[in-house]
Amino acid sequence: DGGITQSPKYLFRKEGQNVTLSCEQNLNHDAMYWYRQDPGQGLRLIYYSQIVNDFQKGDIAEGYSVSREKKESFPLTVTSAQKNPTAFYLCASRRGDREGTEAFFGQGTRLTVV
Amino acid sequence: QKEVEQNSGPLSVPEGAIASLNCTYSDRVSQSFFWYRQYSGKSPELIMSIYSNGDKEDGRFTAQLNKASQYVSLLIRDSQPSDSATYLCAVALSGGSYIPTFGRGTSLIVHP
C-alpha cells in the first residue's frame, strides 16, 4: 500500500537530548513537509523540501534540523536547542511543486519531554 | 504575514442538520484550497480540495469558494456523530512553492 509512515508513534526525550523522527513515503512524491501541532493550535511549518538534497526553513525552524538524501525519506531531528519540543509532529508529502496537488499526512509522532 | 483564519468553535449541531464551517485567507493570489478532518489524537485526513470559484460536491460534503471575498466554506449535510472532529482549512499560496498553510481549525460537535 502506498502511504506515508512516521515512526515512532510516541517518543520521550530527556532534557538536553537530540532525537530523530522518521518519515518515509512510497508515493513517489517530490515535496515533503514537517509540521508541528500544539494543543488547540493549527499546524505550523518547520521545514520543507521540494527535491532531493534541498530543503528550506519554515516558520519555526529554530532548534530543528532535517536532511533529504533520498526522495522517499525526510527525517527531522529535534535538537537540545529546541526549548519546548513537546508537541505532535506531522510529516506530509505532495506530488510536486505544482498548484492543485493535495498534501497527505503520516500518522504523526507525539514527542514528550521527560 | 499570510494568514488563514477559522472560528475555533466549538460548533454544535444536532444529528441530521447541516454544519457550516468557514475560512478566510489573506493572500489574494492563493490558488488551491483544502479541507481536512482531524479526529482527536490522529493526523489530518483530506476531505475536499477546490480550485475554482463556486461549489464542489462530494457525497455529504460541499466546498464553496469565493476568491473575490477570499472565503472558502465547507458544508456537511445530514451531519452524523461520527463527523465530530476538528476541521482544518488549508490554503496553498502562490509564489513558487505552493506550501499548504493551515488555519487553527474549527471543532465540530454533532449531538444525537
> Whole-angstrom Cα distance, residue A112 to residue A89?
11
Q: Give contacts of A7 with chain B, Cβ < 8 Å.
A: none
Say whether A50 sits in a helix, a strand or coil: strand
pLDDT tens digits along A80-109: 988 899 999 999 999 875 665 789 999 999
Cis before B10 (ω within 30) = yes
Q: How far is A74 from chain B (nearest CA, A)?
A: 16
What is the predicted pLDDT for the residue at A65? Answer: 98
* Mean predicted confidence (pLDDT) in A60-81: 96
What is the predicted pLDDT for the residue at B36? Answer: 98
Give the cell for residue A53. Answer: 538534497
pLDDT tens digits along A19-63: 999 999 999 999 999 999 998 788 999 999 999 999 999 999 999
Q: Exposed, middle or buried, A54 (CB in 10 Å: 0-12/13-18/19+)?
A: exposed
What is the predicted pLDDT for the residue at A40? Answer: 79
* Mean predicted confidence (pLDDT) in B33-47: 96
- CB of B7 within 8 Å of a chain A CB? The answer is no
What is the predicted pLDDT for the residue at B44? Answer: 97
